[in-house]
Amino acid sequence: MFDHPDYDAHEKVLMVEDAASGLKAIIAVHSTALGAAAGGCRLWAYDSGVAALGDALRLSRGMSYKNAMANLPMGGGKAVILGPVLPDRREAVLEAFGRAVDSLDGQYITAEDVGVSVADMKIVARTTGYVSGLDAAIGKSGGDPSPFTARGVRVGIEAAVKSRLGRSDLAGIRVAVQGLGHVGSYLCEELFNLGARLVVADINAERVSEMRDRFRAESVPVKDILLQAVDVVAPCALGGAISEDVVRQLQATIVAGAANNQLLTPQAGVILGERGILYAPDYVINAGGIIMVAGEISGHNDEAHIQAQVDAIGPRLADIFARAKSANVITNVVADSMARDKIAAAKARTKVTEAA
């Protein structure tokens, strides 16, 4: 693990196997400098254990950066459950996962992610109190952070459109949405309500049909969605969608979506910059969900307050875009540097406190 390319001085990585339930999981705690490590639990059928480890390491680091950039008092962590999980074993697997989370004594707070629902998290909560995203009192979300994530991505797209295209509205702006899960579907609604024209794709044909009916969206095959002649490409599926090859073929002028780890390689970001395509760093634009979770954890769960924090994603991205342009560097490099500085400052404050 220590030689893994995605290992980044993580504070703790817990490998979990529970023979009774069949659970196999990895919990990665990247940093607790700003507070308890917070991040969702993903259930996915990985090609290998090595692939699952890489995902946990990358995603947990991304959560540290995401929480730092959103000015949240939380560190970064992530969990992955290796699938598939048979339906008749799911409840036992989730309860065993809860026990694993509980063993960390609050160093990691979990929530839903890809392949895991709010209902699943309620099962996890039977065996640990370190679960978020369950509070149905936050607006109409029922504890689901997806609407807040989608709102933040929409706000981020507005900031990117203003920066790159000089437009203060989304009327007539063409957006290609890759992935129509909870966040992607809510994003389509947000964009449609502001007059955007949608092109969509998903492996779930029913979701595609629903988006066509509700939002007059154009549909294309999944393999073609990122290469459409649109203004904005919004990756909202799994990470790594923006490869070097894809970047070279992009017709959009903006990449701004909800997926984590959108850039497959650092070089993909370099090529985006060389081609003049504006990239909204994923962990900045998709922070709406974790902002909601932070509100729930802290007890500041007034919907208007949370929405105001989510809406601050727009000005935050505008600042990153301006810094990148001024320094003639790519946006993700600027964001990474800002996040690392925030985490380093928190560590320094902790050392001063301990010394005192």
Closest to 287 measured CA to CA, from 33, 34, 67: 67
Overall number of domains in the chain? 2
Closest to 240 measured CA to CA, from 205, 268, 208, 217: 268
Residue 207 shares a structural domain with residue 87: no
Residue 113 shares a structural domain with residue 197: no
Residue 165 shares a structural domain with residue 114: no
Torsion angles phi and psi, residue 116, rounded to 5:
-130, 135
What is the reported pLDDT for 114?
86
What is the reported pLDDT for 173?
98
In a domain, 198, yes or no: yes
- For 19, 92, 115, 258, the CA distances from 233, given in Å and listed in that order, are 43, 39, 23, 11
The answer to whether the CB of 68 falls within 8 A of the CB of 52 is no
The CATH number of whichever domain residue 172 belongs to comes to 3.40.50.720
In a domain, 354, yes or no: no
In a domain, 353, yes or no: no
Task: Name residues of the chain where pLDDT drops below 70.
Answer: 135-143, 352-356
In a domain, 200, yes or no: yes
What is the reported pLDDT for 39?
92
Name the pTM for this structure. 0.89
Distance CA 185, CA 351 (A): 44
Task: Tell me the two tokens of residue 253.
Answer: 């002028």
At 88-144, the pLDDT tens digits run: 999 999 999 999 999 999 999 999 888 998 899 999 999 999 998 776 555 555 567
Residue 179 shares a structural domain with residue 318: yes
Residue 107 shares a structural domain with residue 154: no
By residue count, the chain amounts to: 356
Facing residues of 23 across strands?
18
Residue 117 shares a structural domain with residue 159: no
Residue 232 shares a structural domain with residue 276: yes
In a domain, 190, yes or no: yes
Q: Is the dihedral of CA 123, 35, 115, 147 positive or negative?
A: positive
Q: Is the dihedral of CA 103, 2, 26, 39 positive or negative?
A: positive
In a domain, 140, yes or no: no
Distance CA 258, CA 205 (A): 20
What is the reported pLDDT for 301?
72
Residue 178 shares a structural domain with residue 120: no
Contacts 24+ apart (CB under 8 A), 182-186: 182/144, 182/146, 183/146, 183/149, 183/150, 183/153, 183/236, 183/258, 183/286, 183/289, 184/150, 184/234, 184/236, 184/237, 184/258, 185/210, 185/211, 186/146, 186/147, 186/149, 186/150, 186/151
The CATH number of whichever domain residue 30 belongs to comes to 3.40.50.10860
Residue 188 shares a structural domain with residue 156: yes
- What domain range is 120 assigned to? 12-60+75-124
The answer to whether the CB of 52 falls within 8 A of the CB of 25 is no
In a domain, 309, yes or no: yes
Cα-Cα end-to-end distance for the chain:
35
- For 62, 131, 160, 215, the CA distances from 345, given in Å and listed in that order, are 18, 28, 29, 45
Residue 192 shares a structural domain with residue 300: yes
Alpha helices in the chain (DSSP H): 49-69, 90-102, 118-124, 146-165, 182-193, 205-215, 244-249, 266-274, 282-285, 288-298, 303-311, 313-327, 331-355
Residue 40 shares a structural domain with residue 104: yes
Q: DSSP string of 113-156?
A: -TT--HHHHHHHTTT-S-B-S--TTSTTSTT--HHHHHHHHHHH
In a domain, 119, yes or no: yes
- CB neighbours of 114 closer than 8 A, spacing ≥ 6? 40, 42, 43, 44, 181, 238
Facing residues of 302 across strands?
none
Residue list for the binding site for NAD(+):
179-184
What is the reported pLDDT for 207?
97
Closest to 150 measured CA to CA, from 176, 192, 189: 189
What is the reported pLDDT for 145?
84
Strands 232-235 vs 218-219: parallel, antiparallel or unpaired: unpaired
Catalytic center residues: 78
Residue 82 shares a structural domain with residue 197: no
Q: Is the dihedral of CA 112, 78, 99, 46 positive or negative?
A: positive
